[in-house]
Amino acid sequence: MAGRLEGKRTVITGAGMGMGRAAAIRFAEEGARVGLIDVNEEAANETASMVAGGGGEALVLPADVTKEEQIAGAVEQAAVEWGGLDVVVANAGIELAGEDDRADRLELSVWQRTIDVNLTGIFLTCKHGIRALLASGGGAVVCTASPTGLYGCAPGFDAYSTSKAGVYGLIRVMAADYAKEGIRVNGVIPGYTKTPMTKWVTPEEEQALISTIPLGRPGQPEEVAAVMAFLASDDAPYVTGAVWGTVAQIALHVGPRIVVPERWTWKDLTICGTWTFRFYDAPRILAQIASRKLPVERIVTSRIPVREVVSRGIEALGDPDSDQVKVLVAAGAGV
């Protein structure tokens, strides 16, 4: 039986590792010919070997997505080799953990590098990829976005979050731009996914993240690749301008929140009103509140389970299966 991408001529950026590599392997398994665009030629060659090992066809296309002449040349090489293109997967990205920060502490060079790769790189890939799709009579574009760009759920990663917000906007406007010309543009939003880009996450931080995911585990790059394959295929002919969450964590990111700094004093809590934790700070903050027996007027939950709050000895109101914590702090509660 032919795969859902049989004969599709495809280019994938960031194909040397993580979700890009998983997409290349999945697309090839589904019958696509895959052009592997990556700044790391050795990593792209490794992906090509994996594709070939599964009986697929891969073309290694070394290129830096921030350099227009390089990405234009890579796309053109694939189009010439195969007589056109059908699918463009704009996936390459970076996350500069340890350098990215909130705005007042963020170095311009870190901001610029992140925007250059994550937003300008996506734009350049789409610019030249879509030109090839137009010449071929239409096709599909899939871009990798992030929940950080939609919900502000990664405080202290301002450059990364902003770059991904830009990708979201680009997806939506390009979908409107090219719908009448037979080109569909969609995106995927991976939640916390185990890839080389998340190696910086400590075991403790990972457990805190996992505690917010209903499925109780991280996503895998192969699961993201499966959604990409669907969006690129003829099984999604009426899907455009959509941004698909690929793991069940997405539902937990909805709603405004106030950032809690890493270093804070109990005087920070001497206010009346609602105080909302970052989702991955909640276990730490709740434990500190419980241990200090801080007077709290009430806790309404909608971000982590009420059971978690109750287990820490804090009275909670609300549905036991709801997920967020909001603490209404009594006046003068701090010490």
Which CA distances in Å does 23 have to 89, 170, 193, 225? 9, 21, 14, 4
Residues of the chain with CATH 3.40.50.720: 9-253
Q: What percent of the chain has pLDDT over 90?
A: 59
Helix axes 108-115, 158-178, angle to 10 degrees: 30
pLDDT confidence of residue 200 = 74
The residue written with tokens 């394959």 in the block is 229
Which CA distances in Å does 220 have to 102, 179, 195? 28, 31, 8
For residue range 233-283, list pLDDT tens digits in order. Answer: 999 999 999 998 755 443 333 333 333 333 333 333 333 333 344 444 555
Least confident stretch, 65-69, 94-98, 121-125, 138-142: 94-98
pLDDT confidence of residue 291 = 53
192 is catalytic: no
Answer yes or no: is pLDDT of 148 > 50.
Answer: yes
Answer yes or no: is pLDDT of 124 > 70.
Answer: yes
> What is the pLDDT averaged over residues 207-235?
86
CA 122/CA 163 separation, integer angstroms? 10
Beta bridge partners of 46: none
Among 294, 303, 298, smallest CA distance to 273 is for 298
CA 185/CA 182 separation, integer angstroms? 10
- Selected from 3.40.50.920, 3.40.50.720, 3.40.50.2300, 3.40.50.300, the CATH number assigned to the domain covering 9-253 reads 3.40.50.720
Residue 303 and residue 277 in contact, taking contact as beta carbons nearer than 8 Å: yes
Mean pLDDT of the chain: 79
Q: Please give the single-letter amino acid code of residue 62.
A: P
Answer yes or no: is pLDDT of 211 > 80.
Answer: no
Spot the catalytic one: 151, 160, 168, 280.
160
CA 153/CA 166 separation, integer angstroms? 15
> What is the pLDDT averaged over residues 40-47?
98
